[in-house]
Amino acid sequence: QAPDTDKHIAAARTFNHGAALLALSSLTDSAMEHYRGSFENRVMYLPLATALAALGASLHGGADRSGASHLVRHGIQWGAAATGVAGTAFHVYNVTKRPGGLSWHNLFYGAPVGAPFALLLSGVLGAIAENLRDEPANDPRLFGMPAGKALALVVGAGLLGTAAEAALLHFRGAYQHPAMYAPVTVAPVGAALLMHTALAARGQARRMSRFARLWLRLTTLLGFAGAGFHANGIARSQGGWRNWSQNLLAGPPLPAPPAFSALSIAGLAALRMRETEV
């Protein structure tokens, strides 16, 4: 186990690991969705290139034990975050320009509004990891507050946003399977526990940290289990995996659930940092 003075570097590397998983999720999801859309607009290639670059930068950062940020990695991560913001704006425009504007039908069948959020989160986590490396070993700070507290708040917000996207997609699917309620209940509770640990007083934060850690581990498992459920949903479609070229595009999004695992892994790193502050 890393000594306290090295915990901010260990946390930065773990954030890189989480960012890498988010980038991989975004890369595969964007490739499938934009292929289904026949890459009608050339800008639809941009998130693929950006996510691939972010994946490489995050894997490089995860293997880097140095206590200094990397200029190229940092630039790539901010580029990924900016692409995620732009992608969200494009998708919102795609929804609102349709007849009926911002309606349930258009939210369900227009460009997925929440999809670019994974790329945004990947870039944000990766950029934060670079910022954290430049902080001193003793009392590292981010955004004017203790680093562990800031990391926990960022991850908590990311979990809530990802749960909101799952809620919309599972609502479209009429929650036809009871397991579809899991990501919209387990993940928000994990986010609430993580953010409460970040904001609570010293003694209470220590007590909540243990429970939050257990819940985030459950959320990590949830993400990988969700991919299994989505794979089963594809298998149950007409033709199953023999008709993979159609069912991968029409079935539940296989790359989406691991985003919960990626954020939970980062949340566990934030908790370890927070425990050194309280």
Residues 90 and 107 in one domain: yes
* Final residue belonging to a domain, choices 120, 139, 158: 139
Residues 1 and 135 in one domain: yes
* Final residue belonging to a domain, choices 86, 106, 139: 139
Are 62 and 16 within 8 A, CB to CB? yes
Residues 238 and 255 in one domain: yes
- Count of structural domains within the chain: 2
Residues 63 and 194 in one domain: no
Spatial distance between the Cα atoms of 232 and 267, rounded to a whole number of angstroms: 28
With the C-alpha atoms ordered 148, 154, 157, 159, is the resulting torsion angle positive or negative?
A: negative
Query: Whole-prediction pTM value?
Result: 0.93
Residues 16 and 118 in one domain: yes
* Final residue belonging to a domain, choices 119, 139, 159: 139
Beta bridge partners of 146: 141
Residues 34 and 90 in one domain: yes
Residues 102 and 199 in one domain: no
Residues 110 and 150 in one domain: no
Residues 125 and 151 in one domain: no
Residues 36 and 121 in one domain: yes
User: Which residues constitute the domain of residue 108?
Assistant: 1-139
What is the full per-residue pLDDT of the chain (278 aa) written as tens digits? 455 548 899 999 999 999 999 999 999 999 999 999 999 999 999 999 999 999 999 999 999 999 899 999 999 999 999 999 999 999 999 999 999 999 999 999 999 999 999 999 999 999 999 999 999 988 899 999 999 999 999 999 999 999 999 999 999 999 999 999 999 999 999 999 999 999 998 778 888 899 999 999 999 999 999 999 999 999 999 899 999 888 998 889 999 999 999 999 999 999 999 988 87
Residue 141's φ and ψ, nearest 5 degrees, are -135, 150
Residue 214 tokens, joined: 């257990």
Residues 124 and 155 in one domain: no
Spatial distance between the Cα atoms of 23 and 64, rounded to a whole number of angstroms: 18
Are 264 and 162 within 8 A, CB to CB? no
C-alpha distances (whole Å) from 255 to each of 41, 78, 175, 206 are 22, 22, 19, 34
Q: Could you give the 3-state DSSP secondary structure of residue 146?
A: strand
Residues 118 and 161 in one domain: no
